[in-house]
């Protein structure tokens, strides 16, 4: 199909939007390992999970056989407020690079939370509401997830308590205000509101907090208040399930115009956006119906796929969450302070971990200065100012397009542009002022992280 026939932006009709989420596990030959109870080391049951999570979400978390979950009408209606997300042909980037490659990106930033996080936030808030709950608690680091959840809760009239890592709370006051605009209560973590918060503050007065601590506070709060549950923005299989709306829309749009990607690229933190983007393509690959190169891009400061171990580990530093088998750097691994807050998680979604272990996808790690260089190059020609996280995918997409320039191959490259960088301008400022540095963890640091892995008999 000639270039001219493909619009700059492909928007599906509302009638073409996905009506089901796709549960990739149903088509996987090697299923991901089950979540384990950290005390008994036996698979977690729905009953054991129910004080923490909403019932419907527990079902989605544990289900390995149902291939499709119907998206409830209320969620579909919410999706219609900011979806379908455009699939964009990066004509201007192609021209700038002088590459024969065809580059497409699925842009998830056209909503106030600024990212794909809203896709799962509305689903989790919906099931909480349906269960008759009063509210939900969560943690947020960079703030995209907290914003998304606040928006979803405001829409449904659900209370929303966000524990925001103290350093972010102070450095990103505008993120905090967005959440307040949507009626959420935002507490800097660690706080005096929870036992775990008090304990941490007593032991480490003046600490600026961590995601692990914020998770612990949010979980404690949820389980200690009637009518509340805890929700999470990535890592879990349920989150990846909701995010398949990204890949399903992309596939429908590509099929409509007869486009078949050769390479699919996504940034990987907890893995939900990458998993959501690739799911329908990976399904075809597993079933032998098509072949795609699938590439996960992670920061070199937090290389769970490329330098981590495939092992059972805690999802949080407080070690109160279930054990998940995943590529991990150890729950005590502390990544260097880079500017991609959304990619600083020590582990990786269990489904993606299994797929990676099975050789069905690749992974690569990149330094942040190169990521920001790619981000700026992209912004200048394509208009959109990307989030640092998303720019990891841009960096590798550009690399692949330049390889095509050398070889003359007309490959079709698809990448996920998960969000915008409006609240990351402090990082861009550092980059412009030449003050941004790169960091590769030493072998020693990695070994120290692995020492936190639980001993499994």
Binding region for a second copy (CB under 8 A): 7-9, 11, 13-14, 77, 80-82, 91-92, 110-112, 114, 151, 154-155, 173-174, 177-178, 180-183, 376, 379-385, 420, 422-423, 425-426, 428-429, 432
- The gap from C-alpha 129 to its chain's centroid, in whole angstroms, comes to 23
| Pick 77 or 131: Cβ nearer a second copy | 77
Paired tokens of 342: 């959304």
Q: Rounded CA gap, 323 and 166, in Å?
A: 26
Nearer to a second copy, 172 or 325 (CB): 172
Closest distance of CB 51 from a second copy, Å: 30
Shortest approach of a second copy to residue 186 CB, angstroms?
A: 11
Contact criterion met (CB below 8 Å) for 395 and 378: no
What are the Cα distances from residue 30, in Å, to 107, 336, 342?
31, 34, 28
Closest CA to 326 of 342, 350, 351: 350
Going 134 to 140 to 144 to 145, the CA torsion angle's sign is negative
In 11-133, where do the E strands start and end? 20-22, 68-70, 87-89, 102-107
Nearest to 26 by CA among 67, 70, 57: 67
Q: Which two tokens stand for residue 228?
A: 């509340």
Where b means 16+ CB within 10 Å and e means fewer, 384-399 reads bbbbbbbbbbbbbbbb
Displacement of CA 341 from its chain's centroid (Å)? 11
425 CB-near residues (< 8 Å, 6+ apart): none
Asked if residue 294 lies in contact with residue 279, where contact means CB atoms within 8 angstroms, the answer is no
**H or E element: which one contains 169?**
helix 166-171
Min. distance of Cβ 379 from a second copy in angstroms?
A: 6
Q: State the nearest-atom distance from the C-beta of 7 to a second copy, in Å.
A: 5
CB of 406 to a second copy, least distance (A): 25
**Which helix (H) or strand (E) segment is 312 a member of?**
strand 309-314
Which stretches of 257-300 are DSSP H helices? 272-286
Query: Residue 261 in contact with residue 413, Cβ under 8 Å?
Result: yes
Burial class (CB in 10 A: 0-12, 13-18, 19+), 165: buried
Taking phi over 0 as left and psi of -120 to 50 as alpha, with beta for the rest, 299 belongs to beta
Of 5 and 47, which CB lies nearer to a second copy in the complex structure? 5
**Residue 34's CB: how many other CB atoms inside 10 A?**
15
Residues 6+ apart with CB under 8 A from 299: 335, 338, 340, 343, 344, 365, 366, 367, 368, 371, 392
What's the Rg (C-alpha) of the chain?
21
State the residue for tokens 């003046």: 206
The candidate with the shortest Cα–Cα distance to 243, out of 267, 222, 219, 214, is 267
């Amino acid at each position: 199909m000639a270039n001219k026939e493909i619009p700059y932006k492909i928007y599906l009709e509302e009638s073409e939007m996905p009506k089901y989420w796709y549960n990739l596990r149903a088509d996987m030959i090697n299923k991901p390992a089950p979540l384990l109870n950290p005390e008994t080391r036996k698979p977690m049951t729905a009953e054991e999970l129910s004080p923490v999570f909403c019932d419907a979400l527990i079902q989605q978390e544990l289900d390995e056989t149902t291939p499709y979950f119907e998206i409830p009408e209320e969620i579909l209606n919410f999706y219609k407020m900011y979806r379908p997300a455009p699939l964009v042909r990066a004509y201007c980037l192609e021209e700038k690079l002088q590459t024969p490659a065809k580059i497409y990106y699925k842009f998830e930033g056209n909503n106030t939370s600024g990212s794909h996080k809203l896709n799962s936030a509305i689903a989790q808030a919906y099931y909480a509401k349906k269960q008759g709950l009063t509210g939900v608690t969560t943690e947020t680091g960079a703030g995209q997830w907290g914003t998304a959840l606040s928006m979803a809760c405001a829409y449904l009239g659900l209370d929303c308590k966000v524990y925001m890592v103290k350093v972010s709370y102070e450095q990103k006051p505008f993120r905090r205000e967005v959440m307040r605009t949507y009626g959420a209560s935002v507490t800097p973590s660690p706080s005096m509101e929870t036992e775990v918060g008090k304990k941490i503050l007593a032991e480490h007065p003046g600490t600026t907090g961590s995601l692990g601590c914020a998770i612990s506070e949010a979980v404690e709060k949820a389980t200690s208040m009637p009518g509340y549950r805890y929700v999470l923005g990535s890592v879990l299989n349920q989150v990846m399930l909701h995010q398949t709306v990204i890949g399903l829309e992309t596939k429908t749009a590509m099929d409509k115009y007869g486009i078949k990607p050769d390479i699919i690229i996504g940034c990987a933190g907890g893995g939900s956006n990458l998993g959501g983007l690739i799911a329908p393509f990976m399904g075809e690959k597993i079933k032998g119906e098509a072949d795609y190169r699938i590439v996960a891009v992670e920061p070199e400061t937090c290389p769970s796929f490329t330098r981590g171990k495939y092992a059972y580990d805690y999802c949080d530093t407080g070690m109160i969450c279930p054990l998940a088998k995943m590529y991990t750097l150890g729950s005590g691994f502390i990544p260097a302070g880079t500017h991609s807050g959304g990619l600083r998680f020590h582990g990786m979604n269990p489904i993606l971990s299994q797929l990676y272990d099975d050789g069905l996808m690749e992974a690569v790690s990149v330094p942040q200065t190169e990521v920001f260089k790619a981000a700026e190059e992209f912004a200048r020609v394509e208009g959109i100012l990307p989030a640092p996280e998303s720019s990891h995918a841009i960096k590798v997409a550009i690399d692949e397009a330049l390889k095509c320039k050398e070889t003359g191959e007309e490959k079709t490259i698809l990448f996920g542009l998960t969000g915008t960088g409006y609240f990351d301008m402090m990082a861009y400022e550092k980059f412009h002022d030449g003050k941004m540095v790169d960091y590769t963890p030493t072998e020693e640091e990695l070994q120290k992280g692995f020492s936190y892995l639980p001993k499994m008999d």
